[in-house]
Structure formats: C-alpha cells, structure tokens
Structure 1
Amino acid sequence: MSSNDNTKSFPELIKLKRDGDQLSPAEIRTFVQGVTSQTIQKSQIGAMLMAIWQQNMTDEETLALTREMMNSGDTLKWPEEWWVVDKHSTGGVGDKVSLPLAPALAACGCKVPMISGRGLAHTGGTLDKLESIPGFNVSQSIQQVEKILQDVGCCIVGQTESLVPADRVLYAIRDATSTVDSLPLITGSIISKKGAEGLSALVLDVKFGRAALYKDLDSARKLAQSLVTAGNKLGVKTRAVLTRMDAPIGQTVGNAVEVCEALECLKGRGPDDLTELVTILGGHLLDMCSPDFTVESGTKEIALKLKNGEALEKFQAMLEAQGVSAEVARSLCSYETDYFQHMSRAAHQTELKVLDDGAVLDIDGLALAEVLHKLGAGLTKSEDKIDHSVGAEILVKMGQQVQKGESWIRIHHKSQDDLSVHQSVLQKALVIGNIREYKALSRVAEFI
C-alpha cells in the first residue's frame, strides 16, 4: 500500500470503524479494492466486517460500499430500448415465485436476466430447484445470457465469476464471522449484484415472520428502506414489497415438487397465494418500466399471461435455451403430464394424519423446512449433494376444517428410517383449533 499521507493502512481503517467513525468513500474504495485484489488478509476483512456489524454504517457509507462492490467486476450493458427488470427475495419456505415470474414478465415484453442463488440455511435456492429438471444449465456466460434474452426474453442463471467478485469473498467471510445479519452488509450484497446487472427496475420481496430472516415487520421495513434507498441512488428504479413468511408459500416445499407447482402456476392452476405474489411483484415492475401500466393494470397483465399460456411458452423456450431437451421441455409444459416422468421421484411417500378435529390455524414453515433440509433437500456441508426428490406436499389449506385421521401432508423421502426421527416435529408444525380463531391474511403486507 502507498505511504502517501492521505492513505490509511488497513489496520487504521479497521480502527476508525471500530471506534465508530464514518469512513469516507475513498476509504471504503480502498477496503473493497483490497478485498477484490486479495491484498488484505482474511483476518483483517473479518475484523472490518465485525466493526461494521457493531457500529453500523450511515446511508452514505452503505451507498459507497454498495457502489464499490458493484464496480469490483464487470457491469452489464443492454440496448437502451430494453426494459431490463429483476426481482430479489430475502428468502422463504416454498418460495418458487421466480420460476413463473420471469417468463410472465418476458411475455409482457421485459428482459429478465435473473441472477439467482443457492439454498441458504433452511431456505431453498432457485438454482437448486431448476436443477431438478434434467439438462437445465444455470452456468451461462454473459454472451449466452445476452443471446437468451434476445431470443427468449428471460433466463435464470448463477452469478458469473466476473460479476461482483468482492461479494463472493465478503459473503463467505460474513458467514464464518457471524456478520450475515448486518443491514449495510446485506444491502451491499444484494444491491451490488442487482446494480451490476444493468437493470431498469428492481422489485424486492422482503419477507418477515417466523420462517424469514427478519421475524417482525418493523425490522423487515428497515431492511426494505435501506435496499430501496441504495437501489434508487445507484440509478435502478427500486421498490420493495413486504410479505408474510410464516406458513409455506403454496402447497409444496422441496426442489422437484416446487418445480411442479411453479409449472401449475404457469398453467393458470397455481395456489392463490403463489399467484398473488407473482402477479403483484410483476405488476410493480411493469408500473416502474412503462407509463402504460399502473400497479393494478400491471398485476392484471401478469395474471393474463399466466392464464392464456404465454408465460408457459416463454418458460418452455427458456428451458430449451438453457440445455433442456425439446422433448422434456415440451412434456413438462404440456397441460396433461406426469412431471415425475422426467424429474426424480423419492423412493418413499409417507402421509401424516391429522391428530384432532378442527380448523387448520397455522403450518409452521420453518419447522417443515428444517426437517426437509435434514432429509437431504438442502446442504449441511459444502461437499454434500442435494437430493432434489426430497420434499413435501401439503394436502390441507389454511382455515380448512379437517377431521382426525385425515392426511394433511405427504413427505417425499429416501428411506423409512430417516423420517421416523422427525415425525413428532412435523406433527407439531400443524396447528389445529377453532375456526373462530383463524384470521385469513394476505401474503402482502405493504409496499415501500
């Protein structure tokens, strides 16, 4: 590092932040460049992350961090006339929204270069779900992404090596240093990646509740505000939708089973709460992109594309563009098909029974997701392999009257023994009571 009087050493920068001082944009640039070029030790990066976690950052610092992370690698550029849009979710249970949303937006004339992630803790990853489909390739070069957008209008891919390399380093060290839940670090990670995509508009699905990162609406609102502020200041029209995440979204949790449900949504037959999220998030993006749309008319337009099959056609074209054979893509997108003819089916399906008469008041999405994770639907160690066939189909709906002995869930699992140790936890996930205690709530709480 230069010995120039104005340039502080890394330990000096760490001490500044540790003591609660505000870092200048130049000092933040020095830190991010050191991370990217690997001229700063991992122990020093960890120390800075912990200092940020303890002392927080101002809006100006957060924006500078996000901008420097965004510019740490390639940034994508698109033809000016394109409406380039994306959506990001802070993670949930049964959250397969991206799968029908991307093609529905493409059917409305948008370009959707959706850069998605893997499962994290109990939450499923969009890429893991899509890899349930034989042949689907999430690794596409920037040139391939551009061609798919030109030909189809949407793609769902993993992060390329050249986009936001600083985030890959920081993300791994945040995990190892228990600094994942820092507001400025979350903001920097999410918005830097979306900013590097060269978006016209971004909608954020910020979740709150028992199965979300943030358990209450107030803390989720603070995150949403931070994300929206950073996105808009970086020149991306950004809006957040705050959504409830207690019970699973839709009726399935797991990789292959969620793909099946996403396909049902694309055929106009999806569960109401999933369809609600897809149409409202899409409606906000159309409203941000075009003066021809309001949120309400955009929501109706997305619903129409799900109903009339145009979104399904785009999904089929995307499957083929990303490596799925034409025969498999056509079969999956047929209105009458056995999805498991192509995707792996678990060796066992076990149905659990309702233990009391009454109404379904709640289904604990977190408890269900954690059991499925242990059964193989997620990764416990990086060298593990995901079992795409593990999952659950929920056979009852919220508010439904049920009788003792009726099946309420079907678990897809590898062996009879592996389920028995988790059965009591699964049974506790279902809450039965008096229908008068049930209060139906929309998934969507508010917009920012």
Structure 2
Amino acid sequence: MSTEQSSFAVVDLIRAKRDGTPLNDDQIRWLIRAYTDGAVAEEQMSALAMAIFFNGLTPAELATWTRAMIDTGERMDFSGLSRPTADKHSTGGVGDKITLPLAPLVAACGVAVPQLSGRGLGHTGGTLDKLEAIGGWRASLSNAELFAQLEDVGAVISAAGAGLAPADKKLYALRDVTGTVESIPLIASSIMSKKIAEGTGALVLDVKVGSGAFMKDEASARELASTMVELGRAAGVNTVALLTDMATPLGRSVGNALEVAESVEVLAGGGPADVVELTLALAREMLAAAGVAADPEHALASGAAMDVWRSMISAQGGDPDAALPRARETEQVRADRDGVVTGLDALGVGVAAWRLGAGRTRKEDPVQAGAGIEIHARPGDRVAAGDPVLTLHTDTPERFAPALADLSGAIAIGDAAPHPRPVVIDRIG
C-alpha cells in the first residue's frame, strides 16, 4: 500500500462483503496492512472473514488479497543459487510423511528444495514435529544458514521465518477460533501467500481428498487445487497440483518417530508401495516444473537420495544414525473375524494417533515423539480372527481408552477385497 492512500471505514468493507459487493484493490491492500498493524480490530476482521466465508472472493479480489498478504513481509530470492528451486506443499493428511524422503530425493536429482514447513495441529501431523524426533535436529535456521545449506546440500526442511507473510499468521489464528477455516479463497490465499513469498521457482501442490483430509470430497479439492494453481501462475511461480487419496492413511505408520523410520526405509529402497509411489510422482512433477530431466527412481535406488538425507539431517544438528524414540507402552487392535480388510478410515486413525500424544490441540502443546499407530493390515490385506491390525504406541497408557474409542468403526473387514483406490487421482495444471 502506498503511503498516499487514505484509510477506509472498516464497517463499510464488512457491509460490502456481507452484501456480495466486491472490494477494490486499494480497499483490500489497506485492509490487510491495517489488520496486520493492529489498526483493524479482531472482531471487525472476524465479521469480514465470515462474510467472505459465505460470499467468497472474486478471482480479482483473491489475487489482490494474496499479493497484499505477501507484501506485509519479506520475499525470499533464491536466484543466486547454482541450481533451480522447487517446493512441494501438502494440504495435510494422516501418515503423510512424504516431505521427508521427497526433499532429499529431488535434491539428489539436481534441484534445490527450500521446504519451509509447519507443525501439526489436530489429527494431521506436522513435518517439523516428525523431524524433531531425531536427536539434536533443529527446525529454526537463519536466512543465511538456509541459503548456505541449499547451496551445499541441496535440501532444507525448516520452520518458516516470522518475516514471511505475517498477515497470514495473524489471520490464520483468527479463522481457527471463528469458524471460518473452511473457506476455499481463504485457504488458497493462506497457503499461496507463504509459498510465493518463499521465493521458489516451481511449486507442486499435493491436495488431499478423503476422510483424513481437509477436503472431504473431490469437487472441493479440485476447486481448491485449481484456485491455488491460478494464484501461483499469476505470481510467476510454475505451479501444478496433484489430487491424492486420503481415505486411508499413507503407508503403515502414523506418528512422529514412526514416520521418520518409515521415511528412512523408503530412502533405503524399501518402504510401503503407496508412499514410494506418491514420493516418485511428486518428485517427477517437481523436476519437470523446474526444467530438470532426471530419473528420481534411479536416485532412490542408487542411494543418492539417502546420502542427501544424511547430509541434510547432519547440517541441522541431527544425528542420522541415532536411535529414534520408542513409546513406553503399546496395545494391539486385533481383527474380530476372518476376512479381507475393506476399509481403514484415515480420520479415525489420525484422531486416535492424536489422542495417543502424536499431535496437539493448541500450538503450544508438546507432542510425544514415540506416540502413534503402526498399521499391520491395510485395505486389500487378508486377516484371520485375532491377527493384529494396528499397534498403538504411547508413553501414557491412560490414553489407550479414548484412542480405542476413536477407532471404533474405523476398521472394516469383509469377505471380498475392495476395489483398489489410486494414490494419485488427477493432475491439475
């Protein structure tokens, strides 16, 4: 916003959005800056967010809204690096540890990956929480450290600095407590303001669909993906999106240290088929978007990706050879009949893992590094009565009862194998 622009009466902007009237560029730029600076009261922004929740934003409003959020902070510039950059953003899911093997894999193929990540809240896990299960690893890096690591190692996974889109941090917290989170324009601007400010040249979006995802149905996920792709491209970032399945948890582990162990398995050439498939699919998209012709499957098989992983963890103070934390207590959930697993509800598993201590209710809550759920049987697997389907892990055994209650009805066993679900549903962009 230029200093010459006059201020506006916030109540006029609230009324306009309430009545479905678009805001102009000057109004939006002033509003976002004034709110970030504390000149617009929380209750006023709450009312405006609710009006947007019901009436949406036009494409022009959304583009300006996103730019205005970016302009409240710094923009990073990676043009001085010796290789192109690409990043991935997932809308969040259960067992979604893909960033961990993906960042070193893409770096091993010649593309720098500045992966600025967050912590988990509720049933979706946070990448930083997972990595903090590794002894000594630190999430917070200065910009100088981040640039140096990208040049030397090729990949960094770290916390986003406070200087990136500070308007988003403030608005996100407000939406969380005012029932206005589930607004596609506000979700899209929140994600894309941070990713555009981050300065990556290419961006691949992993938009989850299903019970364990933010978007439960394909139509909503498709709309969100298309909106974000358009915002990215309008800002000069080569952006594509994959719609991916989140009806069932990804892989065979949910929880911080458990997911790190599974990610290392993938980097060692093993790991669950769905995790490997999605990691490779996203890697191919990131490499293509960055304009680099390389075979990620070869980088995985050759051990090159594992080498980058070890360097990346070491560069941030972690010991890649350290034993991962294990929870003190375990309890198994067993099949109640012979048959084939026909369903394993991602939301039920995710909430149960959260109850066990793998997640948090408030941002300041601690997490248990060893808490979570091991999955022994996934949809399509045959089981006999009494076979273990899940193993629950926690340091605090009083958490087992509420977790088991969340899992009631989450496991379905039938006589016939279910129709296989694709990991990647569609590509947008």
Q: Which residue of 2 aligns with 1:422?
A: 403
After TM superposition, list the pairs within 5 Å mapping 1:349-360 onto structure 2: 349-360=330-341
Instruction: State the 1:242 CA deviation.
Output: 0.3
Task: Measure the CA separation in 1 of the matches of 2:370 and 2:362.
Answer: 19
Task: Measure the CA separation in 2 of the matches of 1:9 and 1:420.
Answer: 52
Task: Measure the CA separation in 1 of the matches of 2:281 and 2:4.
Answer: 53
Instruction: Report the CA distance shift for 1:141/1:32 in structure 2 as closer, same or farther (over 3 A).
Output: same
Instruction: Give the residue type in structure 2 aligned to 1:400.
Output: D
Q: Which residue of 1 aligns with 2:161?
A: 160
In the alignment, structure 1 residue 202 sits paired with structure 2 residue 182:
no
Instruction: State the 1:423 CA deviation.
Output: 2.7
Task: Measure the CA separation in 2 of the matches of 1:271 and 1:58.
Answer: 42
Instruction: State the 1:41 CA deviation.
Output: 1.3
**Is the CA contact 2:121–2:363 (under 8 Å) kept in the aligned structure 1?**
no
Task: Measure the CA separation in 1 of the matches of 2:5 and 2:112.
Answer: 48
**Is the CA contact 2:355–2:399 (under 8 Å) kept in the aligned structure 1?**
no
SS in 2 for 1:202: strand
| TM-score with structure 1 setting the length | 0.92
Instruction: Report the CA distance shift for 1:412/1:54 in structure 2 as closer, same or farther (over 3 A).
Output: same
Q: Which residue of 2 aligns with 1:282?
A: 283
SS in 2 for 1:240: strand
Task: Measure the CA separation in 1 of the matches of 2:46 and 2:231.
Answer: 23
After TM superposition, list the pairs within 5 Å mapping 1:124-163 onto structure 2: 124-163=125-164
**Is the CA contact 2:352–2:402 (under 8 Å) kept in the aligned structure 1?**
no
Instruction: Report the CA distance shift for 1:6/1:380 in structure 2 as closer, same or farther (over 3 A).
Output: closer
Task: Measure the CA separation in 2 of the matches of 1:61 and 1:385.
Answer: 38
Among residues 288, 294, 299, which one is paired with 1:305 in the alignment? 299
Q: Which residue of 2 aligns with 1:77?
A: 77
1:56-95 per-position Cα deviation (integer Å, ceiling 9, x unaligned) = 0011111111111112111011235531110000110000
In the alignment, structure 1 residue 380 sits paired with structure 2 residue 374:
no
Q: Which residue of 2 aligns with 1:259?
A: 260
Q: Which residue of 2 aligns with 1:409?
A: 390
Task: Measure the CA separation in 2 of the matches of 1:125 and 1:220.
Answer: 20
SS in 2 for 1:435: coil
Q: CA RMSD in A?
A: 1.9
Instruction: State the 1:308 CA deviation.
Output: 1.0
Instruction: Give the residue type in structure 2 aligned to 1:396.
Output: A
**Is the CA contact 2:356–2:403 (under 8 Å) kept in the aligned structure 1?**
no
SS in 1 for 2:337: coil
Instruction: Report the CA distance shift for 1:120/1:5 in structure 2 as closer, same or farther (over 3 A).
Output: closer
Instruction: Give the residue type in structure 2 aligned to 1:319.
Output: I
Instruction: Give the residue type in structure 2 aligned to 1:306.
Output: L
SS in 2 for 1:87: strand
Instruction: Give the residue type in structure 2 aligned to 1:20.
Output: G
Q: Which residue of 2 aligns with 1:446?
A: 426
Instruction: Give the residue type in structure 1 aligned to 2:308.
Output: K
**Is the CA contact 2:66–2:193 (under 8 Å) kept in the aligned structure 1?**
yes
Task: Measure the CA separation in 2 of the matches of 1:388 and 1:101.
Answer: 21
Instruction: Report the CA distance shift for 1:5/1:261 in structure 2 as closer, same or farther (over 3 A).
Output: closer
* Comparing 182-191 and 11-20, the one that deviates more: 11-20
1:299-333 per-position Cα deviation (integer Å, ceiling 9, x unaligned) = xx112211111111111111111111xxx32x25x
SS in 1 for 2:373: strand
Instruction: Report the CA distance shift for 1:3/1:213 in structure 2 as closer, same or farther (over 3 A).
Output: closer
Q: Which residue of 2 aligns with 1:322?
A: 316
Task: Measure the CA separation in 2 of the matches of 1:226 and 1:232.
Answer: 10
Task: Measure the CA separation in 2 of the matches of 1:403 and 1:5.
Answer: 71
Task: Measure the CA separation in 2 of the matches of 1:172 and 1:122.
Answer: 17
Instruction: State the 1:8 CA deviation.
Output: 2.4
Instruction: State the 1:6 CA deviation.
Output: 6.5
Instruction: State the 1:4 CA deviation.
Output: 8.7
Instruction: Give the residue type in structure 2 aligned to 1:201.
Output: A
**Is the CA contact 2:96–2:250 (under 8 Å) kept in the aligned structure 1?**
yes
Q: Which residue of 2 aligns with 1:433?
A: 414
SS in 2 for 1:72: coil
Task: Measure the CA separation in 2 of the matches of 1:358 and 1:196.
Answer: 51
Instruction: Report the CA distance shift for 1:83/1:4 in structure 2 as closer, same or farther (over 3 A).
Output: closer
After TM superposition, list the pairs within 5 Å mapping 1:101-120 onto structure 2: 101-120=102-121
Task: Measure the CA separation in 2 of the matches of 1:267 and 1:252.
Answer: 17
1:4-58 per-position Cα deviation (integer Å, ceiling 9, x unaligned) = 9965222222222222111111111001111222221111221221121121001
**Is the CA contact 2:344–2:378 (under 8 Å) kept in the aligned structure 1?**
no
SS in 2 for 1:62: helix
**Is the CA contact 2:352–2:404 (under 8 Å) kept in the aligned structure 1?**
no
Q: Which residue of 1 aligns with 2:352?
A: 371
Aligned residues: 427
Instruction: Give the residue type in structure 2 aligned to 1:57.
Output: L
Instruction: Give the residue type in structure 2 aligned to 1:441.
Output: R
Task: Measure the CA separation in 1 of the matches of 2:70 and 2:116.
Answer: 14
Percent of aligned positions that are identical: 40
Instruction: State the 1:398 CA deviation.
Output: 2.3
In the alignment, structure 1 residue 393 sits paired with structure 2 residue 374:
yes
SS in 1 for 2:409: helix
Instruction: Give the residue type in structure 1 aligned to 2:254.
Output: V
Instruction: Give the residue type in structure 1 aligned to 2:423.
Output: R
Instruction: Give the residue type in structure 1 aligned to 2:424.
Output: V
1:387-423 per-position Cα deviation (integer Å, ceiling 9, x unaligned) = 1110111112321111101111111122444313433
Among residues 329, 344, 355, which one is paired with 1:348 in the alignment? 329
Please, which runs of 5 or more residues in structure 2 have no aligned partner? none
Instruction: Give the residue type in structure 1 aligned to 2:316.
Output: Q
